[in-house]
């Protein structure tokens, strides 16, 4: 991809972020956004930008970047264009954690922790299932194990919700639809750590993913320790996804569609693909959250629904070009 | 250069060895061909070389060093493997794909350098695919793809090529082109080890043939030693004749019909 396309990706993210800071129930001019971010005054506009919109935009950027990179890494490693972070049982496990915490009456502040724990348990379970099946590094078996664990988790959620109080059901549902509305700066800082560290490792492993995408035997012939490499990439991609899910619930379709958009722009090797997916995913989620806020005020649409509404047409166009 | 010594391999949960004590050597400057019926253990030998199958007994060595003592990328720097099938989930450009042949030479923190680019250029030229450089892999024909895969293997920079069925799915002309290319590679000093069902082609190009039958060596030697009715017929369990056409210059196998066709 040419230099100018990279510039365009960065400019798009900055523009989307500024737009999301400016537009809403109260529209704020760019100059005031600048003053607010500089922290100079205590006007109404400053408070809206600093306390309401900036954390939202920051969380949206991190969620989008994390899911985009996680999806790009998994699609290449599994050699499967349909692979995405949630297929590995991460989403189901996180949902179980959140629903259980909510049903047990734990405070909302503990929900992200419970979700993260649930996601990690699901990933470990998926690896254990694959290991028991005798194929520790076979991506197809890992994929199936993830689907099975996810299905089991969904069944668990339904059992818990069947007898739950309406409040618990509402909490769980809101969370499963995804939202970047209530992010605290602490949560954002933690997610930042996961996305930046995890993303950096994935970019370093980018050439391994290139080679894995050729098939396991060819990768082994090129000197890659295939099983260990697949496990490592799965684990990091799952950790990133689990961290995003625990901070913002389930934001569907980003991990699936973003890598395809970047590939359609002519990026083929995984190092640039991962970076491009981070930028594009961030832009997509920032815009989706903006739409979620402004389409039907004062109500907010679920973020996960909006990402799918934006993602599906893109995906269909891409599919049409493919056939 | 690549040596198999009394190698025994058994698949998990199998009742008999897939490879039961096979020994032979693939030397530099020569084409060594492993032939035999389906399920005779040919591909298993290659998978064991790159560590995708555990060797239960015996050993495989590269220039005297057992593969078990070598790291995977050390093997990949000396021996390049072209597997039977390879389908890219996401297409690359031809030069990007050939560039992946440099993978065993690149550390995680290193970008490809001058040496890597030269190796890629030279192997693309050697495989005769210069005109395909800027094409996408999914826009190549079967014969072009096979040559591009050979270029990738040459870019690995070792002095041994190992190929599993290099001419499967290719027509006569492309088959010959691939074997002529392998012949040149061997003449330039590489060890070429290939597994093939194309007995007649192999008989014309290989310096050394190894016939496998149910995991064991049934015959080995020159084409004249292996391409014999009394050797091949029991192994393939089919009636056949071996002809010698002076225009070909090598023995050729012709399988017979089960019952002679009736004359009109």
Subunit contact A269:B92, Cβ cutoff 8 A: yes
Q: Are the C-beta atoms of B57 and B6 separated by less than 8 Å?
A: yes
Subunit contact B75:A223, Cβ cutoff 8 A: yes
Q: Could you say which residues from 114 to 133 on chain A have a Cβ atom under 8 Å away from some Cβ of chain B?
A: none
Contacts of A134 in chain B (CB under 8 A): 12
Decide if B158 is inside a domain: yes
Give start and end residues of each alpha helix (H) in chain A: 3-22, 30-38, 44-47, 54-78, 90-103, 111-132, 139-162, 166-176, 185-204, 206-212, 216-221, 226-248, 254-264, 270-294, 303-322
Can you state the percent helix, strand and coil of chain B, rounding each to 5? 35, 25, 35
User: Which of B249, B248, B251 has the alpha carbon at shortest distance from B231?
Assistant: B251
Contacts of B50 in chain A (CB under 8 A): 217, 220-221
HEC readout, A90-107: HHHHHHHHHHHHHHCCCC
Query: Touching check for B172 and chain A: CB below 8 Å?
Result: no
Q: Could you give the CA distance from residue B187 to residue B29 in angstroms, rounded to a whole number?
A: 5
Decide if A6 is inside a domain: no
User: What is the predicted ipTM?
Assistant: 0.91
Band of pLDDT at residue A242, cut at 50, 70 and 90: confident
pLDDT (average), residues A60-72: 96
Q: Could you give the CA distance from residue A175 to residue A153 in angstroms, rounded to a whole number?
A: 15
Decide if A15 is inside a domain: no
Q: Could you give the CA distance from residue B50 to residue B66 in angstroms, rounded to a whole number?
A: 12
| pLDDT tens-place string over residues A9-56 | 999 999 999 999 988 888 888 888 887 777 767 787 788 888 888 999
Query: Touching check for B58 and chain A: CB below 8 Å?
Result: no
Lowest mean pLDDT among A84-93, A193-202, B82-91: A84-93
Query: Touching check for B88 and chain A: CB below 8 Å?
Result: yes
Q: Which two tokens mark A119?
A: 């996601």
* CATH assignment at residue A205: 1.10.3470.10
Backbone φ/ψ region at B157: left (φ over 0), alpha (ψ -120 to 50), beta: left
User: Which of A88, A96, A136, A89 has the alpha carbon at shortest distance from A115?
Assistant: A96
Subunit contact B71:A80, Cβ cutoff 8 A: no
Residue A296's pLDDT is 81
Decide if B264 is inside a domain: no
| Element spanning B259, H or E | none
Strands B57-62 and B65-66: antiparallel
Query: Touching check for A5 and chain B: CB below 8 Å?
Result: no
User: Which of A304, A303, A264, A301 has the alpha carbon at shortest distance from A280?
Assistant: A264
Query: Touching check for A228 and chain B: CB below 8 Å?
Result: no
Long-range (24+ apart) CB contacts under 8 A made by A97-106 are: A97/A121, A98/A171, A98/A172, A98/A175, A98/A176, A98/A249, A99/A157, A99/A160, A99/A161, A99/A164, A99/A168, A99/A172, A100/A160, A102/A164, A102/A168, A102/A171, A102/A172, A102/A175, A103/A160, A103/A164, A103/A165, A103/A168
Subunit contact A81:B100, Cβ cutoff 8 A: no
Q: Are the C-beta atoms of A306 and A292 separated by less than 8 Å?
A: yes
Band of pLDDT at residue A135, cut at 50, 70 and 90: low
* CATH assignment at residue B48: 3.40.50.300
Decide if A20 is inside a domain: no
Q: What single string gives the DSSP state of each residue in B222-241?
A: SHHHHS-HHHHHHHHTS-EE
User: Which of B64, B66, B63, B76 has the alpha carbon at shortest distance from B7?
Assistant: B66
Q: Which residue of A has its CA nearest to B47?
A: A217
| Element spanning B221, H or E | strand B216-221
For residue A136, what are the domain limits?
54-322
Decide if B99 is inside a domain: yes
264 residues of chain B, pLDDT tens digit each: 999 999 999 988 888 899 999 999 999 999 999 999 998 999 999 999 998 889 999 999 999 999 999 999 999 999 999 998 888 889 999 999 999 999 999 887 888 889 999 999 999 999 999 999 999 999 999 889 999 999 999 999 999 999 999 998 889 999 999 999 999 999 999 999 999 999 999 999 999 999 999 999 999 999 999 999 999 999 999 999 999 888 888 999 999 988 766 555
Q: Which residues pair with B59 in a beta bridge?
A: B5
Query: Touching check for B139 and chain A: CB below 8 Å?
Result: no
Query: Touching check for B111 and chain A: CB below 8 Å?
Result: no
Contacts of B91 in chain A (CB under 8 A): 268
Q: Output the pTM of the full model.
A: 0.90
Q: What is the largest CA-CA distance in chain A?
A: 64
Q: Which two tokens mark A300?
A: 């907010």
- Quick count: other Cβ atoms within 10 Å of Cβ A164? 17
User: Which of B193, B153, B147, B138 has the alpha carbon at shortest distance from B170?
Assistant: B147
Based on the structure, what is the number of domains in chain A?
1
CB pairs below 8 Å between A and B: how many? 76
For residue B150, what are the domain limits?
2-255
| pLDDT tens-place string over residues A218-235 | 999 999 999 899 889 988
Decide if A1 is inside a domain: no
SS3 B198: coil
Q: Which residue of A has its CA nearest to B94?
A: A268
Residue A26's pLDDT is 82
Residue A100's pLDDT is 84
Decide if A27 is inside a domain: no
Q: Could you give the CA distance from residue B127 to residue B252 in angstroms, rounded to a whole number?
A: 28
Based on the structure, what is the number of domains in chain B?
1
């Amino acid at each position: 991809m040419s230099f100018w396309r990279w510039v365009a990706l960065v400019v798009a993210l900055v523009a989307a972020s500024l737009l999301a800071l400016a537009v809403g129930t109260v529209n704020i001019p760019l100059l005031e956004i600048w003053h607010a971010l500089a922290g100079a005054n205590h006007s109404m506009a400053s408070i809206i930008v600093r306390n309401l919109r900036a954390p939202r935009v920051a969380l949206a950027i991190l969620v989008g970047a994390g899911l985009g990179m996680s999806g790009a890494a998994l699609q290449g490693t599994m050699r499967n264009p349909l692979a995405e972070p949630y297929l590995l049982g991460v989403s189901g496990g996180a949902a179980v954690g959140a629903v259980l915490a909510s049903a047990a009456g734990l405070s909302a502040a503990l929900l992200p922790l419970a979700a993260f724990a649930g996601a990690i348990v699901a990933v470990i379970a998926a690896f254990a299932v694959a290991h028991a099946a005798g194929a520790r590094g076979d991506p197809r078996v890992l994929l199936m194990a993830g689907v099975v664990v996810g299905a089991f988790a969904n069944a668990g959620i339904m059992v818990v919700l069947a007898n739950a109080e309406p409040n618990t059901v509402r909490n769980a549902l809101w969370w499963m639809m995804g939202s970047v509305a209530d992010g605290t700066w602490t949560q954002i800082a933690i997610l930042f750590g996961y996305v930046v560290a995890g993303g950096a490792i994935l970019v370093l492993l980018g050439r391994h993913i290139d080679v894995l995408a050729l098939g396991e035997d060819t990768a082994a012939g090129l000197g890659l320790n295939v099983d260990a490499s697949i496990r490592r990439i799965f684990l990091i991609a799952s950790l990133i996804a689990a961290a995003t899910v625990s901070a913002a619930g389930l934001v569907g379709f980003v991990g699936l569609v973003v890598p395809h958009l970047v590939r359609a722009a002519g990026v083929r090797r995984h190092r640039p693909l991962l970076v491009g997916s981070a930028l594009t995913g961030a832009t997509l989620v920032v815009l989706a959250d903006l739409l979620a806020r402004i389409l039907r005020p004062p109500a907010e649409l679920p973020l996960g629904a909006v990402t799918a509404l934006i993602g599906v047409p893109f995906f269909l166009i891409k599919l049409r070009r493919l056939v | 250069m690549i040596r198999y010594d009394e190698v025994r391999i058994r698949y998990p949960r199998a009742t008999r060895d897939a490879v039961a004590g096979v020994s032979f050597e693939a030397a530099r400057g020569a084409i060594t061909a492993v032939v035999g019926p389906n399920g005779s253990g040919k591909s298993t030998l290659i998978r064991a070389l790159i560590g995708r199958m555990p060797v239960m007994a015996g050993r495989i060595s590269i220039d005297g060093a057992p593969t078990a003592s070598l790291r995977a990328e050390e093997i990949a720097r000396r021996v390049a493997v072209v597997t039977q099938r390879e389908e890219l989930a996401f297409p690359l450009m031809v030069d990007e794909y050939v560039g992946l042949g440099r993978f065993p030479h690149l550390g995680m923190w290193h970008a490809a350098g001058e040496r890597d680019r030269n190796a890629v250029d030279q192997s693309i030229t050697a495989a005769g695919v210069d005109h395909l450089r800027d094409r996408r892999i999914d826009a190549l024909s079967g014969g072009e793809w096979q040559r591009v895969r050979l270029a990738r293997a040459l870019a690995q920079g070792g002095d041994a090529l190992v190929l599993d069925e290099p001419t499967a799915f290719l027509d006569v002309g492309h088959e010959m082109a691939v074997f002529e290319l392998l012949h040149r590679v061997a003449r330039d000093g590489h060890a070429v080890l290939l597994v093939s069902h194309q007995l007649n082609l192999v008989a014309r190009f290989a310096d050394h043939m190894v016939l496998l039958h149910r995991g064991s060596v049934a015959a080995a030697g020159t084409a004249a030693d292996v391409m014999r009715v009394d050797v091949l017929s029991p192994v393939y369990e089919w009636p056949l004749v071996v002809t010698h056409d002076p225009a070909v210059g090598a023995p050729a196998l012709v399988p017979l019909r089960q019952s002679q066709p009736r004359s009109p």
